[in-house]
Amino acid sequence: MVEDEEEGAAVEGAAAATTSRYGTAALIGRPNAGKSTLLNRLLAEKLAIVSEKPQTTRNRIVGILTEPRGQVVFFDTPGIHRPLHRMNRLMLQEAESALQAADVVCLLVDAAEPFGKGDAHMLELMDRVKTPRLLLLNKIDLVKKSRLLPLIAQYSEGGRFEEIIPISASTGDGAERVLDAIFARLPEGQPLYDPELLTLHPERFLVAERIREKVLEQTQQEVPFATAVLVDRWEEDAAKDLVRIYASILVEREGQKKILVGAGGSRVKSIGIAARTDLEEFLEKKVHLELHVRVEERWRENARILAELEREARLGSGGEAE
């Protein structure tokens, strides 16, 4: 990681008034608990893609929050689940390494769902973590207050959690308390990153993710899980203030390709329109988007393709792809 002299000085100046804290916080939990929704809420920016389908997040997503009191680097992680493919095993590694690296661990639980085996497994995992742990009971907008109290009592047993905070990542309820609880547990230190920096991922990864989000929105059953997006080409046309993006949507079988393309190309066209609208807002310029659906048999087991996807997501110093 490169440190920039001038930026470092600016950060110090801004933070001189109060004690500054710096550290990392991991968002951990089962698929669909609301980790990515919370990350976006805390950053007040849509960084991680969100969907009602489980296993939407496949990589560790880094989001940076800078306030006068300091800087938190968040790790949003893939949900902890039973891995069926090589890809899913890599997803679990991403979650576990975030768990080990963090200064504070936040376990998110969907409070609207009954406690199950998966939740018991999460608690076992928490028992192996040495860092301060917070429990965030999410989706309280869907839960009656009378149901919340027994849940809090249940999770208090064992004394694993330093705080139990009911939240709604969707409405923002409880978000300030979460930040207070995290900052209180971070070591003192100077922020490492430019306060303007939101993430360390290359822009083309964030773009591929947003395209994938539209695929998730517009497909059902096994198709979302069998899909990956790769940006093949990215051409800036400065004269027209336009960017041309050519991306491939990978599927595993011809049948899935047929579904994704749709009758007369209607579905991929509709995905393309939704993605272009979103990307124009995100990149703040006109976007020309071309999507190409490609069959890559068993790509979720294919080390070469997984490595390529991993490379795309790789953390840089932010901004452009290297």
Question: How far is Cα 199 from Cα 210, in angstroms, rounded to an integer?
Answer: 15
List residues near Mg ion by CB under 5 A: 35-36, 56-57
Q: How far is the CB of 212 from ligand GDP (least distance, A)?
A: 12
88 near ligand GDP, judged by CB under 6 A: no
Q: Which residue number places its CB atom closest to ligand GDP?
A: 34
Among 79, 132, 202, 272, binds ligand GDP (CB under 6 A): 79
Q: Are 177 and 41 in contact (CB under 8 A)?
A: no
56 near ligand GDP, judged by CB under 6 A: yes
- Out of Mg ion, ligand GDP, none, what residue 168 binds, judged by CB under 5 to 8 A for its kind, is ligand GDP
Q: Which residues of 216-246 are buried (b: 16+ CB within 10 A; e: fewer)?
A: bbbbeeebbbbbbbbbeeeeeeeeeeebebe
Q: Are 122 and 129 in contact (CB under 8 A)?
A: no
Give the single-character DSSP code of 294: E
168 near ligand GDP, judged by CB under 6 A: yes
Directed axis angle between helix 303-313 and helix 86-101, to 10°? 40
29 near ligand GDP, judged by CB under 6 A: yes
Q: How far is the CB of 169 from ligand GDP (least distance, A)?
A: 4
- Out of Mg ion, ligand GDP, none, what residue 139 binds, judged by CB under 5 to 8 A for its kind, is ligand GDP
Mask for 129-148, x = binds ligand GDP (CB under 6 A): ---------xx-xx------
Q: How far is the CB of 82 from ligand GDP (least distance, A)?
A: 15
Question: How far is Cα 258 from Cα 195, in angstroms, rounded to an integer?
Answer: 45
Tell which residue, 278, 272, 285, 274, has the closest CA to residue 246. 272
Q: How far is the CB of 10 from ligand GDP (least distance, A)?
A: 33
Among 20, 24, 57, 71, binds ligand GDP (CB under 6 A): 57
Q: How far is the CB of 187 from Mg ion (least distance, A)?
A: 27
Handedness of CA 60, 61, 62, 68 (dihedral sign): negative
The SS3 call for residue 255 is: helix
Binding site for ligand GDP (CB under 6 A): 29, 31-37, 50-52, 56-57, 79, 138-139, 141-142, 168-170
